[in-house]
Amino acid sequence: MLDDERCPDCKRINEVLSRVGDRWSVLVVISLAEYGTMRFNELKRNLGISQRMLSLTLKELERDGLVNRTYHPTIPPKVEYNLTEMGLSFREPVSALGFWALENLSRIDAARETYDEAVVK
Amino acid sequence: MLDDERCPDCKRINEVLSRVGDRWSVLVVISLAEYGTMRFNELKRNLGISQRMLSLTLKELERDGLVNRTYHPTIPPKVEYNLTEMGLSFREPVSALGFWALENLSRIDAARETYDEAVVK
DNA sequence: AACCTCGGTTACACAAGGGGAACCGCCATG
DNA sequence: CATGGCGGTTCCCCTTGTGTAACCGAGGTT
């Protein structure tokens, strides 16, 4: 049973998805794409995300080169986030996915109901 | 601190992504889109996925109406999977995402190296 | 003096993701 | 007779993900 049989692209796609494919990253990118520049607590309130997860998510997105972080050492501190060029290019496939999601949510719900009824029956 | 401030679409996008947005679902859809109809162990070998996860993933995809399951009661049993119409429509945004992933993997790696060096320094 | 704001970090706890191995029935192959 | 393949299911266990709550420092507000 060789692993070499597996499709080569899957491994790489898997790699990228495990980095930027989590829900919070996707939602942060969508928000930044829509509103441009946003502050930390602005994102937090907008997404309904916990402080901890937002902090972790933004750090990863910055590390991966999708988000710029600008720190203004004022009192109180002000930190602004916006998308890099790569972040903006990521926005296209992501918003396509988001659009599909909104379009098909009801269809998925309907399919689930049908399936669950058939199983119970 | 009201939750009502949060963007309304995020909640729904989040819902759909938490259903069909996991890595294995995405990879299964990509495989089925590329090869058409596939058998269980064919997918397993192709993706390098564990038997357990493939079983769970296919069951959810069938329940959500993205995948058809056809059982042939032969000996040995033969079970074939292929995409439904909705599954095929899902393939478009997914393959856009996959394409972006392949295009930008090296850029992400480069950004990570730069970031990590700057942090260590 | 007490408390709030901003942008985090850290500790703790619990849920979910996911791999490995064993088992199933049934037949073909060695 | 033993083994292997097909298409799963079930159990065990470890790793991640994610929320909650507390804390930080400096300054402004009440």
Domains within chain A, CATH numbers bracketed: 7-120 (1.10.10.10)
> What pLDDT sits at residue B38?
97
Per-residue model confidence (pLDDT) at position B42: 95
Whether B7 has a pLDDT exceeding 80, the answer reads no
- pLDDT for A69: 97
Tokens of B42: 């064919």
Q: Does B119 have pLDDT greater than 80? A: no
Structure tokens at A57: 């998510």
For residue A93, give both structure tokens.
């496939």
The token duo for A1 is: 């049973």
Residue written as token pair 């720190």: A71
CA–CA dist A94, B96 (Å, integer): 9
- State the Cα–Cα distance between residues A59 and A67, nearest whole angstrom: 9
Give dist(CA A36, CA A83) in Å, integer.
Answer: 8
Beta strands in B43-102 (DSSP E): 67-72, 78-83
Q: Work out the pLDDT band at B40, boundaries 50, 70, 90.
A: very high
Of B119, B110, B43, B87, the closest CA to residue A104 belongs to: B87
The stretch B104-118 carries a mean pLDDT of 91
Q: Using one digit for the tens of pLDDT, what is the confidence trace for B45-96?
A: 999 999 999 999 999 999 999 999 999 999 899 999 999 999 999 988 888 8
Yes or no, beta carbons of A93 and B93 under 8 Å apart:
yes
Q: What is the pLDDT of residue B88?
A: 96
Asked whether the bond before A77 is cis by omega within 30 degrees of 0, the reply is: no
Query: Residues 82..111 of A with a Cβ closer than 8 Å to B: which?
Result: 86, 89-90, 92-94, 96-102, 104-105, 107-108, 110-111
Q: What is the pLDDT tens value at each position of chain A, 121 positions in all?
A: 334 456 777 777 777 787 778 889 989 999 999 999 999 999 999 998 999 999 999 999 999 999 999 999 998 999 999 999 999 999 888 888 888 888 898 999 999 999 999 876 5
Other Cβ atoms closer than 10 A to B16? 20
pLDDT for residue B2: 38
* B20 pLDDT above the threshold of 90: no
Q: Tokens at residue B103, please? A: 């295009």
Nearest to B5 by CA among A36, A44, A45: A45
Q: Which of residues 14-73 of A touch B (CB under 8 A)?
A: 14-21, 23, 26-27, 30-31, 34, 45-48, 62-65
The Cα of B74 is separated from the nearest Cα of chain A by a number of Å equal to 23
Residue B39 confidence (pLDDT) above 90: yes
Which pLDDT value is given to residue B25? 93
Q: What is the pLDDT of residue B11?
A: 74
What kind and span of H or E run contains B62? helix B51-63
